[in-house]
Amino acid sequence: MHEWALAEAIISSVSQIAEKEGLKEVREVKIKVGELQQVEVEILEFALSELKMDKLKNAKFFIEAVRAELKCRVCEHKWSFSRNRLDKESAEAIHFVPETVHAYIKCPRCGSPDFEILQGRGVWLESVKGVK
């Protein structure tokens, strides 16, 4: 239920943005969820619906999944993250702390653990819209 902690962070962040931008009501929140963190979108949606209140009461949350793309810093090979290649415990570790991917995955071409996560790491707010 790591998704609840992330949902709380989203609600907190959106509330701060609404305050800063003088929004009376938040209508739409766009969220991007990276594949690497393996967030259960249904649980995240449920948590958001349970946690939203005050200015966010009527907000609609749109969640878009983003493929996780990795790039080797040594040989520049690019590849996509696949949960299926991991055992349950390693996948769970990456779910909690996506950076632990460096403990479990290596570049499929040269074997280096020195790669960057080009996209699809975790949870991001893309936009917050509302009425002033």
Partner 1 sequence: MIDPRKSIINKRLGRVKHIIAVSSGKGGVGKSLVASTLALILANKKFKVGLFDADFTSPSTHLILGVKNAKPREEKGVIPAHVHGLKYVSIVAYSRENALPLRGADVSNALMELFATIIWGELDFLIVDMPPGISDALLDVIRLVKGINFLIVTTPSPLAFETVKKLLELLAELKVPVVGVVENMKIRESNFIPQNVRDAGFRFLGELPFDPKVEDSLGNVDTLLKTDFAIKLAKIALEIFL
Residue 65 makes contact with partner 1 by CB under 8 A: no
Tell me the closest approach of the beta carbon of residue 75 to partner 1, in angstroms: 16
Total site size for partner 1, rule CB under 8 A? 33
Of 80, 76, 77, 78, nearest in space to 68 by CA: 80
Phi-psi region of 25 (alpha: psi -120 to 50; beta: other; left: phi over 0): beta
Return the range that interacts with partner 1 (CB under 8 A); candidates 52-60, 79-87, 89-97.
89-97
Residue 85 makes contact with partner 1 by CB under 8 A: no
Residue 99 makes contact with partner 1 by CB under 8 A: yes
State how far Cα 60 lies from the chain centre.
17
- The CA–CA distances, whole Å, from 55 to 28, 46, 79, 90 equal 11, 18, 41, 39
Site residues, partner 1 (CB under 8 A): 1-2, 4-6, 8-10, 12-14, 16-17, 32, 89, 93, 96-100, 102-104, 113-114, 116, 121-126
